[in-house]
Amino acid sequence: MRDHLKYLISLVLSLCFSLASAHASIRSEYEVKAAFLYNFTRFVTWSNGETAAAPLEVCVYGDDPFGDLLDPLRGRKSQGRELQLRYPEDKAGLVGCDVLYIGQSQSRDVETLLAMAQSQKGVLTVSDLPDFVRKGGIVGYVKQGNVIRFEISLEAATEAGLTINSRLLELAVRVVR
């Protein structure tokens, strides 16, 4: 078990470094969060009937704390699907998102956004808003000291029609069932 956990941690760390440039090291918490965001797409299964030919739409709504850190994701493949990035300017633009990162500027509207995502089915919601998972989000970033971790709501994922790989669940600091 211990070797398995070491393997998973080294896998996540190596994937974090793969998103950074060859000459740079991880510099900020948002580089780590961007790497996690990519890895979430690798360990979540969408059961909404999308084929491998359909792109996987990653949307950032509200303020964008990532800057150009997500740009390396554009065109990469995850589970055979090409990743596309979108930055919707209004709620109408959220239709078709497979992954929805909700920025801090949307804290007052988070419940409405989560209800919209839930009604679409198949939307992986991610944020670093406080109590995001408790409010109905699927993956919430949490900071433990200087370490970025995440918690997962298995209940919210199931309601959204998503299956989360057990390896990702093992890495979560907390899983709400």
- How do strand 81-86 and strand 99-102 relate by DSSP bridges? unpaired
| H or E segment and range at residue 174 | strand 174-176
Taking residues 13-30, what's their average pLDDT? 52
> What crossing angle do the helices spanning 2-19 and 29-42 adopt, rounded to 10°?
110
Higher pLDDT among residues 22 and 99, named by residue: 99
Measure CA of the first residue to CA of the last residue in the chain; give whole Å: 22
- For residue 88, CA distances in Å to 14, 115, 138 come to 30, 17, 20
- Short-list 129, 126, 128, 142, CA closest to 174: 142
Mean pLDDT of the chain: 87
pLDDT tens per residue across span 100-118: 999 999 999 999 999 999 9
The model's pTM: 0.85
- Short-list 54, 21, 60, 61, CA closest to 37: 60
pLDDT tens per residue across span 54-72: 999 999 999 999 999 999 9
pLDDT tens per residue across span 140-175: 999 999 999 999 999 999 999 999 999 999 999 999
Could you give the CA distance from residue 2 to residue 7 in angstroms, rounded to a whole number?
9
